[in-house]
Structure 1
Amino acid sequence: MTDISTETRSVVIEKEIPFPAEKIWRALTQPHLIEEWLMKSDFKPVVDHRFNFSADWGAVDCRVLEVEPNKTLAYTWGAYGLETIVTWTLTPTNAGTHLRMEQSGFRRDQRQAYGGARSGWPQFFEKLEQVLARVE
């Protein structure tokens, strides 16, 4: 029998993006670019670096867990009792890069946060692609 209180869900978005991993990596790790598609932040791609994402509605407290340039980036994502992990995986393809984002750790009682992530991340992905198309 599974214990429903410890069971968690994830939001996963995967997309083939027609840009090299290095360019996507910059958009995922440079604060001035992150601000254009996600939120303001004081992010640094350094393991254990604590940083915040901030928006009109409030802030997200984060800590970098894993950094493998142009390949993997993971950080905690905590706000309003939410403790999740966001993991970005970049895999080169013939047409560009397969970008995978997983936000894991949503508890069953966090329906609103889970729903917010499910509707929010596709919009962030769209903005990210717009930034990539515009930036050198």
Structure 2
Amino acid sequence: MNDASPHTRTVVVERDLPHPAEKIWRALTQPHLIEAWLMKSDFAPVPGHRFSFKADWGSVACEVVVIEPNSSLSYTWSAMGLESVVTWTLCPTSTGTHLRMEQTGFRPEQEQAYRGAQYGWTTFMAELETVLSRED
């Protein structure tokens, strides 16, 4: 399903965060924390687990592809005709963790979804930083 063909585009949002990878990992994988910065979900950190994100505008059907605790998380993201993959990568730094979110699979005719994801993930990342700053 990793269709990173030249005909698709990718949204990437990266941040250097002053938190250990373990803390960020919890915010990416624990449903009550995911809900605080992204959407309500029935996520479980188990490869092959099917789950969904729910919001007032609708829902996203997902399946866990990769789980490497405190390092890498990847899941499919299917909504409104978009079939994509979201990958989170956590790399320790001297001051905390470099967090990278990459969503691949936007076809050329999905300009609105692509632009929406650029805006959405930037907003979600800011919310994640807020959650991390108050979580302990």
TM above 0.5: yes
- Structure-1-length-normalised TM-score: 0.95
Correspondence for 1:96: 96
Work out the CA distance in 1 between the residues paired with 2:39 and 2:127: 11
SS in 1 for 2:32: helix
Correspondence for 2:76: 76
Work out the CA distance in 1 between the residues paired with 2:129 and 2:20: 12
Contact 1:12/1:103 (CA < 8 Å) preserved in 2?
Answer: yes
SS in 2 for 1:43: coil
1:85-131: per-residue Cα shift (whole Å, max 9, x none)?
Answer: 00000000000000000000000010110010001101100000000
Structure 1 stretches lacking a partner, 5+ long: none
- Structure-2-length-normalised TM-score: 0.95
Work out the CA distance in 1 between the residues paired with 2:8 and 2:80: 17
Whether 2:16 is the aligned partner of 1:16: answer: yes
Q: Which runs of 4+ in 1 moved over 4 A?
A: none
Identity %: 65
Correspondence for 1:37: 37
Mapping 1:85-124, distance limit 5 Å? 85-124=85-124
Contact 1:21/1:90 (CA < 8 Å) preserved in 2?
Answer: yes
Contact 1:13/1:102 (CA < 8 Å) preserved in 2?
Answer: yes
Work out the CA distance in 1 between the residues paired with 2:66 and 2:109: 27
Calculate the aligned-residue CA RMSD, in Å.
Answer: 1.0
SS in 2 for 1:24: helix
Count the aligned residue pairs. Answer: 132
| Max Rg structure | 1
Whether 2:120 is the aligned partner of 1:127: answer: no
Work out the CA distance in 2 between the residues paired with 1:13 and 1:60: 20
Structure 2 stretches lacking a partner, 5+ long: none
Work out the CA distance in 2 between the residues paired with 1:109 and 1:51: 27
Mapping 1:40-79, distance limit 5 Å? 40-79=40-79
